[in-house]
Chains A and B, each alone.
Chain A
């Protein structure tokens, strides 16, 4: 008997306001690895709005389904809104290359920083142990941010958040589930979005919080001193620090991992049980009107004598 066609209609709104619903529509991908499902149609034609996070997740769903043989003869049909935004955020070549089977690696090397009124750092893969990848980020992308945001405190805040996010993903990244980071900003705010389909924050912390729900584990991950690797150089400060910056600058932080969803909007934070995401998604939005740095958050221990000159 022939398989019946399965049509999955993607919601009109693929912005951060509706991202949970988008994840919920497509996260069955994670359960059909290697199954080469036939006659599945993911219908994007009704999409009216899609932002940076929506594009990033679209790419991650696509990448996961192709790498894991979820569908037989997959093809991608996008409406004009999708095409325009995918191009705007620098994912167009990446997607074409991926579909052609080039694993997208070459395209990552070509991607550039684009500066008009706003600036965009097109998606970058965070490849663990790859020095070229790290050098590219440091020598090509970060200096452009520095040039765009002349103010020292603003740069320091952005770079501190960058340092912690990069370190987090570099430490936990699994290369075949590429972590992708993309940055978009203007003079008044910056958005940093990262996603991977690896183990995820929840899974790496789970051994330390047995019997706790995913959302509680995710909430723990932003507490100071919580790390999946105690008794090492890991301190458990990174996400705590990012969260503190978000609170004090009245920004936004959203994290998804497994069935946990953490949201901090200007200091009002909450955790929810959410639909499953294999791995981690982090979306940070920082207003830049009152930038702060770590010295505005952490009290100085002046008992430690350091010879600063």
Chain B
């Protein structure tokens, strides 16, 4: 398992470039690691666009089961958790 922290993007993830960087970093790790743990402790909020861009895309690529088994999201606030769900829901 490898952990990555999104704190360098804190307090908000709100633009396409940042979203693309985060997605690529996670995708790259998934090629060598079974599980990727994403630390979101300093992320206060995220544009719904970025949620779809990152988590929606990963959900589609991995499928429901692999997404659950291979992506671990740590320290997300309830607000950020909801935004992540919205991003995933929007691609289904």
Chain A interface category by residue count:
35 or more
Check A138–B10 contact: CB distance below 8 A.
Answer: yes
Check B45–A156 contact: CB distance below 8 A.
Answer: yes
Contact A234-B10, Cβ < 8 Å, known A134-B15, A298-B82: no
In the complex, whether B44 has a CB less than 8 A from a CB of chain A is yes
Check B83–A238 contact: CB distance below 8 A.
Answer: no
Check A143–B11 contact: CB distance below 8 A.
Answer: yes
B residues less than 8 Å from A307 (CB atoms): 68-69, 71-73
Contact A238-B74, Cβ < 8 Å, known A159-B44, A306-B81: no
In the complex, whether B16 has a CB less than 8 A from a CB of chain A is yes
The 0/1 profile, CB within 8 Å of A marked 1, for residues 1-37 of chain B is 0000000011111111111000000000000000001
A132 to chain B, nearest CB (A): 13
A residues less than 8 Å from B61 (CB atoms): none
Tally of A-B Cβ pairs under 8 angstroms: 125
A residues less than 8 Å from B77 (CB atoms): 152, 156
A residues less than 8 Å from B82 (CB atoms): 293-295, 298, 300
A residues less than 8 Å from B15 (CB atoms): 134, 166-167, 170
Q: In the bound complex, what is the Cα–Cα distance between A295 and B81 (angstroms)?
A: 9
Check B11–A159 contact: CB distance below 8 A.
Answer: yes
In the complex, whether A29 has a CB less than 8 A from a CB of chain B is no
Chain B interface category by residue count:
35 or more
Check B84–A163 contact: CB distance below 8 A.
Answer: no
B residues less than 8 Å from A234 (CB atoms): 49
Contact A237-B79, Cβ < 8 Å, known A159-B12, A166-B15, A309-B73: no
B residues less than 8 Å from A308 (CB atoms): 73-74, 76, 81
In the complex, whether A162 has a CB less than 8 A from a CB of chain B is yes
Check B52–A146 contact: CB distance below 8 A.
Answer: no
Q: In the bound complex, what is the Cα–Cα distance between A235 and B89 (angstroms)?
A: 11
Check B86–A233 contact: CB distance below 8 A.
Answer: no
Contact A138-B11, Cβ < 8 Å, known A159-B44, A163-B46, A167-B50: yes
Contact A304-B89, Cβ < 8 Å, known A170-B14, A309-B72, A309-B74: yes
| Residues from 279 to 309 in A contacting B, C-beta threshold 8 Å | 293-295, 298, 300-301, 304-309
B residues less than 8 Å from A237 (CB atoms): 48-49, 86, 90
The 0/1 profile, CB within 8 Å of B marked 1, for residues 109-135 of chain A is 000000000000000000001010010
The 0/1 profile, CB within 8 Å of B marked 1, for residues 208-227 of chain A is 00000000000000000000
Contact A167-B14, Cβ < 8 Å, known A234-B49, A295-B82, A306-B68: yes
A residues less than 8 Å from B45 (CB atoms): 156, 159-160, 162-163
Check B11–A171 contact: CB distance below 8 A.
Answer: no
27 contacts between A and B (CB under 8 A): A138-B10, A138-B12, A143-B11, A146-B44, A155-B44, A156-B45, A156-B79, A163-B12, A163-B47, A163-B50, A167-B15, A171-B16, A233-B56, A235-B48, A235-B86, A238-B49, A293-B79, A295-B79, A304-B64, A304-B88, A304-B89, A305-B68, A306-B68, A306-B71, A308-B74, A308-B81, A309-B72
Known: A159-B44, A233-B53, A305-B64. 15 other contacts (CB 8 A): A138-B10, A152-B77, A156-B77, A160-B83, A164-B48, A167-B15, A233-B52, A233-B56, A295-B81, A300-B82, A305-B68, A306-B73, A306-B88, A307-B69, A308-B81
